[in-house]
Amino acid sequence: MKSLSKKVLLTTTAVSLAVAVGSVAYAGTALKKITAYQNTALSIKVDGKTVSLYDSGENLYPITYNNRTYIPAAPVVKAMGGSAGFNAASNSVDISTVAKPNTGGDATVASDGTNLAQNYTANSAASKIFADNKAAAAYGIRLFAAALQNGDTAAVKAWMRKNIKKSENGNDRYVDNAADLDDQISYLRKNYTDAELGPIANDAINKAKSQTFNGDSSFEDYTYSKYVTYYVSAESDDYSRRFGVYITYSLNDDTNKFYVSSITFY
């Protein structure tokens, strides 16, 4: 479990916790005026990663008082996988941490069967990511097949928008992924009739519901990226087609966790 050096005291402010502590009625002796120094040159690192101290429109710089360094609690606790908040009922700052065993990697935001898991630890294996997200990937394929039937991409785009996250630099692949989706749906509906597309899309939806994935569904494991691909083979009396979704997980340099950066349908 991560811990802080005993020489560093953890303090909080209303800004650091984004909580209006000032509304609390303190006893007359609870607050004392002090003279301290703001240290704008000091950075804070957790496991070698610099913690962002920007919160609620300003930077929460550490302060030095009586030869001790005080740091804002909320961003540091968050970087360590926990949470911090002001509890008005008990007039306390409550900090919670969750220790996770090293079992080959895990997601801090689990899949709910509809949406993809997010924030996998850096040591997560692509095989685990693949196994964790079968139900959510199947749901995405069903949305894609339904869009092929009726030409309405709103539902599948909403799913993509919810699952594709921005990089630490603010890069967002959603717009490009959504444009590719529109092009593919438009091409198929232009070249095939509803009577041709309907039965094969229905079969794809049924295969996805049962998670009957093809044997060529796969995963690829790299240091900074994980790729998972899910396919179902759909058939009608006259046509056959492979439906699939290709999902990219990228490593966020700031959080050192894998997030969904791209979703492409086939």
Give the domain ranges of the chain: 8-96, 107-265
pLDDT at 99: 42
pLDDT at 29: 61
- Each residue's pLDDT tens digit, 19-62: 334 444 444 567 788 888 888 888 888 766 787 876 666 778 88
- Structural contact between residues 39 and 67, judged by C-beta atoms closer than 8 angstroms: no
Residue 134's pLDDT band (cuts 50, 70, 90): very high
pTM beyond 0.85: no
Higher pLDDT: 204 or 105? It is 204
pLDDT at 176: 97
Q: How far is CA 84 from CA 56, 61, 139, 209, in A?
A: 15, 17, 34, 40
Q: How far is CA 226 from CA 43, 60, 140, 181, 262, in A?
A: 30, 34, 18, 21, 11
